[in-house]
Amino acid sequence: MTNHAINQSNNMAEPLLSVRDLAVNYGPVKAVKGISFDLMPGQITTLVGANGAGKSTTLLALSGLVKKLTGRVMFGGKDVSALKPHQLVAGGLVQVAEGRATLTRLTVRENLQLGAYTRKDSAAEQAADLERIYTLFPRLKERDSGYAGNLSGGEQQMLAIGRALMAKPRVLLLDEPSMGLAPIIVQDIFRTLKNINREGLTIFLVEQNVRQALKISDHAYVLETGSIVLEGTGQALLGNAKVQEAYLGG
Ligand SMILES: Nc1ncnc2c1ncn2[C@@H]1O[C@H](COP(=O)(O)OP(=O)(O)OP(=O)(O)O)[C@@H](O)[C@H]1O
Ligand SMILES: [Mg+2]
């Protein structure tokens, strides 16, 4: 979280991550059809879109988990298009585990410690980050030695985010963190993401919960059947008539 501050003080005009002409096919299915987008350092950038638009596929391609048909990913000025998933994680491109896939038979602390598996820094630094995460999520600290399987859905999502933060991300990727959670918990999750972002962390969020996501976004892209059809600030898209009609219930 210390190195995020450094990212933020970089030249704000340069994207931290940029994607050009990304296309992914699953056999005959053209899931992503040549999209380009940028993540600016220290910002929350969101990709919104309906079921099947290609949001998860875009994240999988960024993380190196599906084969890109075309496309180039530049991260921190380097071409990372051909890197393996673990190399990307080690380089700071870290996705929050989907569906809150916490390891239920491990304790909260053990789950968090596992998040640090790619790090090569000292145990003391990792312990300091664990304390920082407990400050961010006091509820997790209370449950430190409890099994993750006994946490509520919202707490498990917090734990999944905490575990990703333990990898010391430079960019945090999230695939629908609000899924399946009660509205009040969703608000909590989004508020937490904003707080983490204020410490300087760059966030790429994929969401179907368009209204809440746009509210916390600096910039957003609208994905429809594999193509980006609109982009703008979160505020601008919230006020956009097409977005309101298609995603915000008119
Ligand atoms: N493993 C797969 N094999 C074949 N087709 C797939 C596969 N995964 C996704 N697809 C198809 O690719 C398209 C994009 O799917 P993707 O999961 O990226 O959408 P999404 O925007 O994340 O949707 P959702 O909001 O439902 O999560 C869809 O048409 C989907 O059916
Ligand atoms: Mg998806």
**Measured from the CB, is residue 53 less than 6 Å from ligand 1?**
yes
pLDDT of 12 reads 54
CA dist 180 and 176 (Å) reads: 9
Q: Provide the pLDDT for residue 104.
A: 79
- Is the domain spanning 1-92+172-178+206-250 CATH 3.40.50.300? The answer is yes
What are the 10-residue block averages of pLDDT along the chain, 250 residues in total? Answer: 45 86 98 98 97 96 96 97 94 84 84 90 93 94 94 92 95 94 92 95 96 96 97 97 90
Return the pLDDT at 77: 94
In degrees to the nearest 10, what's the CA dihedral of 86, 114, 54, 58?
Answer: -30
Buried b (16+ CB within 10 A) or exposed e, 103-134: eeeebbbebbbebbebbeeeeeebeebbebbb
Q: Which ligand is nearest to the CA of 98?
A: 2
According to the model, what pLDDT value does residue 19 have? 98
Burial (0-12, 13-18, 19+ Cβ within 10 Å), 212: middle
In whole angstroms, how far apart are CA 180 and each of 100, 133, 213? 10, 23, 15
Q: Distance between CA atoms of 193 and 12, rounded to whole angstroms?
A: 20
Whether ligand 1 lies within 6 angstroms of the CB of 227 is answered as no
Question: Ligand 1 centre from 58 Cα, in Å?
Answer: 10
Q: Which of 71, 80, 86, 64 is nearest to 34 (CA)?
A: 71
* pLDDT recorded at residue 214: 97
Q: Which residues have their alpha-adjacent CB atom under 5 A from ion ligand 2?
A: 55-56
